[in-house]
Structure 1
Amino acid sequence: ATPTPSPTPVIYIVQEGDTLAGIAARYGVSVEALQRVNNIANPLFLQIGQRLVIPVGQQEALAPSELLPTPTPMPIGIRGVAFYETPVGSLHCLGEVVNTTAYTLTNVQVRVTLFDAEGTPVAEGRAFVAADLIPPTGRAPFSLLFTVPPPNFVSQQVALLRAEAAGELAERDVPIAVEEVTSTPYGPQIEISGFVRNMDPSRVAVVVIVVATTYDEGGLVNGFRQQRVEVGEGLAPGARAPFQMRLTVYGGSPKDVSLFAFGRAR
């Protein structure tokens, strides 16, 4: 018999601001698959320039007994969901999840399904939220783009697909405060600037990421951006660093803006 050719491996070079969850969502693979193929023990630690093998197509080759079951999602809320048509005809879904549990969560993923008039699913997509860890009462936005949405869809549904307790991973998170925030509208964009401060009494944050979410008058998410802050060799305990970002907002100037930041120790 003719042997089945192995799929050509995809190599991804980690860029500034990347997260393992974001890379997994981009290529449609699981975080666990990326960890397994690249021998990554902690999904929160990536290095700029690091080469990752993307196991595209390998999941389908696994026997049923080898497939890892999706953990039962923790109960969390989904709110602020909105759909926007882009200038090129794509459909952009934005929203956020809220951690209503007593645990810090990780690997939080949602599924967006489009239905036709008969209630039949005609398109589906999955997206991880913009934070590797969500503390209790915390929230994090998500984004999913349907490049060519089906013309016959008339309704949609957003559901929680997975959310896991972070366990020991949460202990490696460095608390970061966001201070002196200002925002200035620039047409369809908004510029946000401020400072981040390391609130940990002893650990240096070698990576600091700021996430900004904007809302319209009805509380629907109409924009968000995740950006890595330049901290040099690291942000020392009590020290702070400036940040500045621009993000595109649907429907004009936002009614409200929410920011949070998180850090990672070495």
Structure 2
Amino acid sequence: MKMILSLLVLTVLALALAACTPSEPSNTLTPQPTRTGALKPYTGLASSVTPSPTNAATVTPLPSATPTPRTHVVRAKEDLWGIALRYGLSLEDLLTANPTVDPRFLSIGANLMIPAPLYTPTPDAANPPLPTPVGMDLVTPVCYPSREGGLWCFTTAVNGQEFSIEALSAAIRLYDQGSGKILSQTAYAPLNLVPPGGVMALSAYFPAPAPVTFDITAELLTALPVPPAAGRFLAVQQPGTDIEISADGLSAVASGTFQLSDAQAAASRIQAAAIAYDSQGRVTGIRRWESLEPLSGSASVDFQFTVYATGGAIDRVVVLVEAYP
């Protein structure tokens, strides 16, 4: 009997324990139906234009800028040499661009074609473009403001050599005290020849807007000796030269006669320059004159032209001349 009771108790306990045990959730996956057929790649819309292959190494060049000429309207007190100097041109280039213009009769209001620069040399350290200039003394430059807001700057070169010098030019540099920038322009002489002991003025123009307060220096760029037997220049005499300075000192008229020193020589061109100085000996104005009429023998050519003061009042005027065979 006791054995039967013991078996019953064990059975009841086993059923109670089974009821308290947590059941594990079922993780059986339901298989998805298998799709039939084959995938086809999407090729996009059909193109009507077949693109050309591009070579990554080929660079398409940008269009180059074409130099554009401009015009200049002649105003009172201007001459061709001063206009050419303003735009950084030679007088020959300006005359070539304006073949119908007579340099001796320049009309106020005339339109001049200013050619664009056609060539800019590439600096080459192995082959410097400028020879070493012959030693000359340069006077400290002076500058005067122009009506357009620019600056006209002048310096003077003294030939202390025993031979003549030609192709004279200098660099005039301005250090702007306001901005700290350095501006530079090339100054040219109105004539080519500087005889031994001679003095030649050079001028340069700085376009607007020009600095108001600045430091200024000058450096000789070119000055070449003239070979004695070169024969590029002819000696010229000035039998008579008259200088008439206006009462206010703002202009002066130079007139006179030129004649070749050698009666057997013949000149194809004569150039002259009137250099005006103020009472302190500083250059205040330059004017250039040219005659393309042939001159030979004992014949003479008359000249008359006006030089204007850019800075101080004119105190004296020096007329220089050179002739070419």
TM-score bracket, normalised by the shorter chain, equals: 0.7 to 0.9
**Equivalent residue in structure 1 for 2:301, among 235, 241, 246:** 241
Distance 1:167 1:6 in 2: 43
**1:104-154: CA deviation from partner (whole Å, max 9, x where unpaired):** 222211111111339954211112211122222122221111121443642
Larger Rg: 2
CA drift of 1:166 comes to 2.9
Aligned mate of 1:255, from 315, 318, 324: 315
Q: Aligned pairs, how many?
A: 239
Give the aligned partner of residue 162 of structure 1. 222
Which whole-Å CA distance do the structure 1 matches of 2:245 and 2:270 have between them? 25
- The CA deviation string for residues 218-262 of structure 1, in whole angstroms up to 9 with x for no partner, is 1101111110136x3x11133211100011114564222111110
The equivalent residue for 1:116 is: 176
Aligned residue for 2:119?
58
CA distance in 1 between partners of 2:60 and 2:228 (Å): 47
- AA aligned opposite 1:226: R
C-alpha root-mean-square deviation of aligned residues, in Å?
A: 3.6
**Unaligned ranges ≥5, structure 1:** 39-45
Match of 1:142 among 196, 199, 202: 202
Alpha-carbon distance between aligned partners in 2 of 1:203 and 1:158, rounded to the nearest angstrom:
38
The 1:123–1:65 alpha-carbon spacing in structure 2 relative to 1, beyond 3 Å, is closer
- Residues 119, 167 of structure 1: CA spacing in aligned structure 2 closer, same or farther, 3 A cutoff? farther
- Structure with the larger strand share: 1
Which residue matches 1:228? 290
Counterpart residue number, 1:43: none
Report if aligned partners of 1:7, 1:57 keep a CA contact under 8 Å in 2. no
User: Mapping of 1:1-266 within 5 angstroms?
Assistant: 1-3=59-61, 8=66, 28=88, 49=99, 56=117, 58-59=119-120, 62=122, 64=124, 68-79=128-139, 81-117=141-177, 120-151=180-211, 153-167=213-227, 170-186=230-246, 187=248, 188-229=250-291, 232=293, 234-251=294-311, 253-265=313-325
Mean Cα displacement is larger for which, 64-73 or 125-134?
64-73
CA distance in 1, matches of 2:297, 2:137: 33
Alpha-carbon distance in 1 for matches of 2:67, 2:179? 38
Secondary structure in 2 aligned to 1:133? Answer: coil
Q: Distance in 1 between matches of 2:268 and 2:176?
A: 47
In terms of mean alpha carbon deviation, does 116-125 or 206-215 score higher?
A: 116-125
Write the letter of the residue equivalent to 2:270. V
Pair 1:68–1:251, CA change in 2 (3 A) = closer
| Structure 2: distance between partners of 1:197 and 1:85 | 38
**Aligned-pair CA distance for 1:3:** 3.8
Counting aligned pairs with the same residue, the percent is 23
Q: Give CA deviations for 1:30-72 in whole Å, capped at 9, x if unaligned.
A: 9xxx9xxx9xxxxxxx9x949xxx7836335x47378543211
